[in-house]
Amino acid sequence: MQAKKIIALVAHDNRKIDLVGWVEYNWRSLLKHDLVCTGTTGKLVSETIERKRSTEGGAGAPESSIRLLKSGPLGGDQQLGALIAEGGVDAVIFFWDPMSPQPHDVDVKALLRIAVLYNIPMACNRSTADFLISSPLFDKPYVPLVKDYSAYIQRKL
């Protein structure tokens, strides 16, 4: 992991406002990194960062790089999982809604599983996201330990 991270930002519909609030508070820190977002969340994140840049004097701040994936239910969660498996994501901020049934719950579970499998730092609520982004490790190079599952896979064959 380089000092400049690739951060995934995802939010269920009922949590998008919460994520936008978090982005408004942390936009300057986020500009130091590349972002990848699913569907509508990415559009909201982009609009929020650009609004903050224009109203709070973001001149001189780096341009934000935001990669937009498909909406979660249309495959965005799976796209993000593939990026994690390929080493293309360093941290995940996923404001998920535990109170509303999601039509793509299996995709969400798979995304959470793959992030844990590859030892990707992941925040599923604002408190954890605050701790993650304020960590001294966040802006430094870091080498996460990734468990070697090859022996496990061989046993299953």
Mean pLDDT, residues 15-22:
96
Name the more confident of 148 and 122: 122
- Indicate whether 137 belongs to any domain: yes
What confidence tens digit (pLDDT) does each residue in 125-144 have?
999 999 999 999 999 999 88
Specify the CATH number for the domain of residue 118.
3.40.50.1380
For residue range 50-101, list pLDDT tens digits in order.
999 889 876 666 666 899 999 988 888 899 999 999 999 999 999 988 887 7
Residue of 77, 105, 130, 148 with catalytic role: 77
Q: Does 1 reside within a domain?
A: no
Q: What is the pLDDT of residue 63?
A: 67
Q: What is the pLDDT of residue 11?
A: 94
Asked if 77 is an active-site residue, the reply is: yes
User: Residue 32: is its pLDDT beyond 70?
Assistant: yes
Task: Starting at the earlier edge strand, list the strands of the sheet with 34-38.
Answer: 65-69, 34-38, 6-11, 91-95, 122-123
Q: Could you give the number of structural domains in the chain?
A: 1
**25 is a domain residue:** yes
The boundaries of the domain holding residue 22 are 6-156
Does 34 reside within a domain?
Answer: yes
Q: Say whether 93 sits in a helix, a strand or coil.
A: strand
